[in-house]
A and B are shown apart, each in its own frame.
Chain A
Amino acid sequence: MDRSRSFSSARVGQEHMRQPGQWGVIGIGRAFASRRRFELLRHAITYLLLCTLGFAMLLPFLWMVSTALKPDALVFSIPPKWFPRPWVWRNFIDAMTILGHPVHLYARNTVIIAVLGVVGVAISSSLVAFGFARLEFPGRDTLFLLVLSTMMLPRFITIVPQFILFQKMGWLDTFKPLIVPYWFGAPFHIFLLRQFFLAIPAELDDAARVDGASSFRIYLRIILPLSKPALATVAIFAFVYHWNDLLEPLIFLSSQNNWTLALFLASFQGYMMEPRWNLLMAASTILTLPVLILFFFAQRLFIGGITVTGIKG
């Protein structure tokens, strides 16, 4: 609010001081009868761009849903029908079975992996972040730098030995390789939570310590309750990550009953075989929907979560 006010007051000043040639680059503005008309045009162009691009962004989703609701006969109609009649809601049920896959099993597997991953990563990352943010110990800052640098590490450098490790442990084709490593904290989440914990006044800790509270108690009773927004952000990010991930299921899971939804969708490749696109799009919708719903309800957190990390140099 404050910003826009000062912005317009500057413009008023500018009106007064306008002299020949002063507009320089903005010459276009001069062509209009008044500044206001220019602003109006500017708004119109902004809206036009926002709407066009917004539509382009939504188009693939709309096309996906439209196809998902089509009867078989309409899928290949040219020109394409955007609003199929009738809407075949049954496609969603058929997608669960007819493609010859136990899709409901895949959905269940995906939920198990995502939920266990989220809970594990939230608990472990917050513990680690608490250590880095609120306690003092030799080598702390160096170790934290190490945490940050592992964020930059390419996934492919560790995944081949990890595969061999999990094979030796007999973990291949179980959910463990997809979940357990995240129970040891994830660098990005540690970073995000540490930033948040640092912003909580240290006096709270001191007061609690005077009352004889242990560090763990401070973590549990003071820091965690104050960090609900940050924890929610971490949980959402982690859920979206596990829900969407293809690479790890692809490498660590083999038998079909253990597949995730992403793995299932990835198994339809290219145009070699023409799949039943309407059912495939219904399955895509099923994979997309939870993230959309999550996004809808947690939008502010989602976007705030990234900006709160203070990435700016």
Chain B
Amino acid sequence: MRRQQRWSRRRLMRALEGYLFISPWIVGFLAFTAGPILASLVLSFFEWSLIRPPRFAGIDNYVKIFTADPLFWQSLKVTLIYVVVAIPLQLAFALFLAILLNQKVRLIPLFRTIFYLPSQVSAVAIAVIFLWIYHPELGLLNELLRYVGIKGPAWLISERWALPALIGMSLWSVGGAMIILLAGLQDVPQHLYEAASLDGAGEFAKFRFITLPMLSPVLFFNLVLGIIGGFQYFTQAYVMTRGGPLNATLFYALYLYLNAFNFLKMGYAAALAWILFVIMIVVTIWQLRLARHWVYYEYEGARR
């Protein structure tokens, strides 16, 4: 009886200690995450310019966004194009680099460093460098194109080429996804390849029937993260184009930022943020469902 009591008191102490240790996160979560989420939901039903007191607006913000704001649709379109085109491209390129880095040749650590490096450099610095590279007359890219006899477009000041230019630039910093894929590649059991070789499988067959399925959880993880990041694409567009020319690169996050901090429409921006959040959740859940058809987990495979 007495022992039991002492034991439970010790347990209670341990539990209290546990809460004490994680208390920084609890406080931070309430103050900087949960609180603001609630506040942003409430705010989205208000009109507030920070200067005049907030005015309750009901669902006006949402109605206006969907019925009377062509820029909302434009920014959604730009963002969706980016997510649908750039993210798969990045993933494919990252996979290609990871496979290249998984070859057994010399100097691999050096190349690994070189390919990973750009993903760690400030997006602002990259944006500024590429402003210079994409310069219509003096830029490096058009200079190189001139060598092969192509007259390059005006890139960032061309309505048609600005978004492709940003998408192309994004391929340059796929290092993060590449490293995770490389780790995944190194985890693929070698005996599978050996068995396949004995069965006479070629390189392509091995890639298609061993590498891809074994890698699919990592690919999926990167895809989901990439999409979430893609919906929040901001820095490069802000630095390089500010949404121009003619809103051709008006990304959703940029439009949201402008509403909140340039036009000081706090309630409107909060409503935009919630719509983005809902879209992201829907897309992520959709991805999770799709994943059942193409993501392969070893333990499931055993059952089949």
Contacts and interface: CB of A to CB of B under 8 A. Distances in A.
Contacts of B238: 246, 250, 266
Interface residues of A, number: 104
Contacts of A181: 28, 31-32
Interface stretch (B1-9, B68-76, B81-89, B100-108): B100-108
Contacts of A170: none
A201 interface: no
B45 interface: no
Interface residues of B, number: 112
A291 interface: yes
A312 B217 contact: yes
B25 A184 contact: yes
B232 A155 contact: yes
Interface string A79-109: 1100000000000000000000000000000
Contacts of B103: 43, 46
A63 B140 CA distance: 8
Interface in A156-170: 156-165, 167
Residue of A60, A127, A132, A251 with highest tally of chain B CB at under 10 A: A60
A226 interface: no
Q: Which of A4, A46, A49 has the most CB of B within 10 A?
A: A46
A307 to B, nearest CB: 4
Per DSSP, chain A at the interface is: helix
A247 B21 contact: no
Contacts of A60: 118, 126, 129-130, 133, 172
B280 interface: yes
A127 B190 CA distance: 39
A136 B15 contact: yes
B24 A124 contact: yes
B242 A313 contact: no
Interface string A280-294: 110010011001100
A15 to B, nearest CB: 11
Contacts of A190: 25
Contacts of B165: none
A313 B274 contact: no
Interface string A115-131: 00000000010011011
B193 A128 contact: no
Given A57-B117, A311-B221, A24 B125 contact: no
B132 A281 contact: yes
A33 to B, nearest CB: 18
Contacts of A292: 117, 121
A165 B36 contact: yes
A127 B21 contact: yes
8 contacts: A63-B132, A78-B143, A127-B21, A156-B253, A157-B36, A184-B24, A271-B157, A312-B217
Given A24-B202, A157-B273, 5 more contacts: A26-B204, A146-B29, A154-B231, A303-B179, A311-B180
Interface of A: 3-4, 6-7, 10-11, 13-14, 17, 22-27, 29, 43, 46-47, 49-50, 53-54, 57-61, 63-64, 67, 75-76, 78-80, 124, 127-128, 130-132, 135-138, 140, 143, 146-147, 150, 152-165, 167, 181, 183-185, 190, 215, 219, 240, 243-244, 246-247, 250-251, 262, 265-266, 268-271, 277, 280-281, 284, 287-288, 291-292, 295, 299, 302-303, 306-307, 311-313
